[in-house]
Amino acid sequence: MKPKILVARAVFPETLDYLSQHFEVESNQADTVWSKAELTARLRDKDGAFTTGSDRIDAEVLAACPKLKICANMAVGYNNFDLEAMTARGVLGTNTPDVLTETTADFGFALLMATARRMAESEHYLRAGQWTKWSYDMFAGSDIHGATLGILGMGRIGQGIARRGALGFGMNVIYHNRSRLDAATEAECKARYVSKEELLKTADHLVLVLPYSAASHHTIGAAELAQMKPTATLVNIARGGIVDDAALALALRDKRIAAAGLDVFEGEPKVHPGLLTVPNVVLTPHIASSSVPTRKAMAKLAADNLIEFFSKRRALTPLNSQVLAQT
């Protein structure tokens, strides 16, 4: 008898076909965002789950689903998992690192450029029929080439952005991270380690690429925004909650920083109303990894984690590998 799995959100049809070769699959191609109660009810008789960041797996869900053995996230982030509770219950969690690194770094740099050069503002102006003549300062933004790029969080994606900035645009790259990179990686990225205070005060363009946790909640708030240059831009492609969106909306309104580019938000898909009323922000709906090849690679890696677990009691990218030793 095949193990039963739940695919909690819509996914590529070929991914479902692939999974169906190995499992009895219940899918959600209608892409309904289930309530916690609905998700729990559907998981109750399942051995595994193919999840996304919108599917919260916590102690309450786990207690109601004793058959559940693995949750494979189609995402590199996993703040939807209560890993401590999952480990206590012997439930493996997996994610999809590496396959989205370069695509996400591409998007981060695109968002940085759109923010610095005021692309969204100027497009709205044009679409509204307000462009009637040329002027010397029309939507004059800030340069990317030769500027100081600050990166907060220097994992795989942060390093990808650093390489693009240093090698492609001749930027002076500085970074802050929980731990300093080794000398060889710093040299490859042409990046210099600095304190968080120096990063905030020095960067012309600050990009956030750190994982979300209780410790990183509101890493950028009113106090940190006050330390930034009034000409600086802020880009968040990490996770909602790392930035205090209410404080950022006020800083943008009062022009305490020049602009922001945001792909993630607190409480998404809801967006803080203050961010919707200021012109100097570029907003995108959490799409940094959204190229067709990358999303297909993410889906396949999540599927492969499920297949490897049930066929060989292992996983390609485990988050709490101690669970594997218990099985």
Summarised one tens digit per residue, pLDDT across range 286-300 is 999 999 999 999 999
Q: What is the pLDDT of residue 325?
A: 87
CA atoms of 315 and 307, how far apart (whole Å): 8
Q: What is the pLDDT of residue 261?
A: 98
Quick one: average pLDDT of 78-101?
Answer: 96
Alpha carbon separation from 79 to 58, 212, 266 (Å, rounded): 10, 7, 13
Query: What domains lie within the chain, and their CATH numbers?
Result: 4-97+292-326 (3.40.50.720), 101-283 (3.40.50.720)
CA atoms of 167 and 162, how far apart (whole Å): 8
Q: What is the pLDDT of residue 326?
A: 79
* φ and ψ at residue 180, rounded to 5 degrees: -70, 145
* φ and ψ at residue 115, rounded to 5 degrees: -70, -50
Residue found by looking up tokens 């340069």 in the block: 143
pLDDT, tens digit (0-9, with 9 covering 90-100), for 168-213: 999 999 999 999 999 999 999 999 999 999 999 999 999 999 998 8
3-state secondary structure of 5: strand
Q: What is the pLDDT of residue 213?
A: 87
Mind telling me the catalytic residues?
239, 268, 286
Q: Which two tokens stand for residue 245?
A: 């969106």
Q: Which two tokens stand for residue 313?
A: 């009691």
pLDDT at 140 over 70: yes
Q: What is the pLDDT of residue 207?
A: 98
* Average pLDDT, rounded, for the chain: 97
* φ and ψ at residue 116, rounded to 5 degrees: -65, -35
Q: Tell me the β-bridge partners of 70.
A: 48, 92
CA atoms of 160 and 190, how far apart (whole Å): 11
Q: What is the DSSP string of 114-181?
A: HHHTTHHHHHHHHHTT---S--TTTT-----TTSEEEEE--SHHHHHHHHIIIIIH--EEEEE-SSPP
pLDDT, tens digit (0-9, with 9 covering 90-100), for 91-128: 999 999 999 999 999 999 999 999 999 999 999 999 99
Strand order in the sheet with 24-26: 24-26, 4-7, 48-51, 70-73, 92-94
Quick one: average pLDDT of 232-251?
Answer: 97
Q: Which two tokens stand for residue 128?
A: 């509204």
Quick one: average pLDDT of 61-77?
Answer: 96
Under a CB-based contact definition with an 8 Å cutoff, are residues 261 and 282 in contact? yes
Quick one: average pLDDT of 273-283?
Answer: 97
CA atoms of 235 and 11, how far apart (whole Å): 28
pLDDT at 327 over 70: no
pTM, whole model, 2 decimals?
0.92
